[in-house]
Each structure stands twice: as structure tokens, then as C-alpha cells.
Chain A
Amino acid sequence: MAMELSNAEKDGKYTIAVKGEIDLYSSPDLRSAITKAIPSASAALHIDLSGVEYMDSSGVATLVEGLRASMEKSVAFVLLAPAPPVLKVLQLSRLDTVFTIKDRA
């Protein structure tokens, strides 16, 4: 399954929901969605990863870049409900403690 993105904004909290597979082919689209969203996210940028079936290191790199860019703008960068394949690659990368990870409200 290819990657699908959908956006929502509420009270300064911007959410990008990702579905499908994040790999070398699809990660540039996620990167540009995150870059576009940061100026709109006055308080927080949530990346909903509950529908992600696969993520590779290019996806990890994209999330790390998003975290850095958000920190520069004092925007909270949150990974929302990462699916098991996402958690696994974050753990293998030893980056699971770097991100703020929350369950979906």
C-alpha cells in the first residue's frame, strides 16, 4: 500500500495522519508535508502513525528532521500512536526515547 496523508488543524494543534508505507519512495512527500505544517502549527505538530504498516530509515530520518525543525520554532513535535512496525524501527535505531510519543486521545 502506498502512503496517504491527511491534515487537520484545531486550536493551534496541527495533525498529519499517515497511512500505509513510509520508505525511500514516499518519505519525501511526508518531509514536505511536515515542512509545510510547521508554520501553521503554532502550538504542536502531531504525526499520527497509527495507520503505518511499514517504515524504514528514510522515514526515521524524516521524523528526526521534523523534530529538529519543530524545536527551532518552539513547536511541540509529537508522534501519535505509532503502530508496531514504527515502534520497532525506532527501537532498532535507539531513537524511541528521543521522540515524544503519545497514545491517541
Chain B
Amino acid sequence: MTKQDEINIDVATDPRLLASVRGLVRTYLQTEGFSSERASEIVLAVDEACTNSIRHAYGGNTAARLSLTVREQGSAIEFIVKDEGVPVALEKCERRAVPAPDPTSLMPGGLGVQLIYSVFDEVEFHPGKTSGNRVVMRVKRPEKKTAQ
């Protein structure tokens, strides 16, 4: 059931459309009172979750679908990215120390997951048993300024 103040979008897995998704998320965060800097970080992390679905769950297939839900959950805002692709191995979704800055050993793969962890307060990866993935990302809402 969709709550009254919930946003649900269903989008093709065409990377060209990611800019539009980012625009929507940015506008939402500005409306909710996030600073421009914090909004940029959250936009990046949500984009990384969508990018991961396209690249890993769908192997670059641009004709599949993914969905993004944005909703309030108590004092947090919850972003949920869902796909119907191949379940991603949980060990690839673990939070880990970013490698030492040695360019000869850099492994850029998996960087998106680490960016998601570094931006959000809570992150959950739920790969399905046979298909699909659900990534839940929560961020505390900025404290409302109280009137004097």
C-alpha cells in the first residue's frame, strides 16, 4: 500500500535516464530542508544504487525496469531501490575499509557500494532467493528550525 506522502517511480534501466532520477531526488531533498552539500551526497548514493542494479543485477541490459521509493519513516527518510534482476552476492555488499591509496592496486569495482555506506546512516541489502534485489537506505531528516 502506498502511503499518502510516498514517492514511487518506475524507470527503465537506461543509463540516460539516471540524470532525471537524480533531479527528482535532489528536488525532494531540497524540499525536505537538506543542505545543498548533504543533498548532493545523498543524490550520489541513490544514483550508485540504481547504477549497481543496471550494471550488476541486469548486466547492463537497458530494457529492464527498476523502481525507486522515497518515504518518511519516523525521523528518517527511506530510499528503496528495487530490481528484478540477478540477486547480488551479499559478500559484494559488505562495508569494508577503502583500500590504501596505492594506484597499482586500486580496484574501482565495488566503489559504489562503499559510497552508499559512507553517505547513509543505515543501509540494508536484500538480494532475493531466486531473483531481484532490494536496497534500503535511510538518512536522518535535518532538524526543523523551531520558531523563536
Give A contacts to B, CB under 8 Å. 2, 21, 23-25, 54, 56-58, 60-61, 64-65, 67-68, 71, 85, 88-89, 92-95, 97-98
Sample of 29 A–B contacts (CB below 8 Å): A2-B19, A23-B18, A23-B51, A24-B15, A24-B18, A24-B51, A24-B55, A25-B15, A25-B19, A54-B22, A54-B44, A56-B44, A56-B112, A57-B48, A57-B108, A57-B115, A58-B51, A60-B111, A61-B108, A64-B103, A71-B103, A71-B104, A88-B44, A89-B44, A92-B44, A93-B98, A93-B111, A95-B106, A98-B103
Report yes or no: A64 in contact with B44, Cβ–Cβ below 8 A. Answer: no
Report yes or no: A61 in contact with B111, Cβ–Cβ below 8 A. Answer: yes
With an 8 Å Cβ cutoff, the count of chain B residues facing the other chain is: 28
* B97 to chain A: closest residue by CB: A94
B27 at interface by CB-CB < 8 Å: no
B66 at interface by CB-CB < 8 Å: no
B13 to A: closest C-beta gap in Å: 10
Report yes or no: B106 in contact with A68, Cβ–Cβ below 8 A. Answer: yes
Complex interface residues of chain B between 17 and 62 (CB less than 8 A to chain A)? 18-19, 22, 37, 40-41, 44, 47-48, 51, 54-55
B67 at interface by CB-CB < 8 Å: no
Give B contacts to A, CB under 8 Å. 15-16, 18-19, 22, 37, 40-41, 44, 47-48, 51, 54-55, 98, 101-104, 106, 108-109, 111-112, 114-115, 118-119
Distance between Cα atoms of A54 and B18 in the complex (Å): 12
Distance between Cα atoms of A6 and B37 in the complex (Å): 28
A60: which B residues are within 8 A, CB to CB?
108, 111
Greatest chain A CB density within 10 A among B19, B22, B114 is at B19
**Given A92-B115, A93-B98, does the pair A24, B22 have CB atoms closer than 8 Å?**
no
B102: which A residues are within 8 A, CB to CB?
98
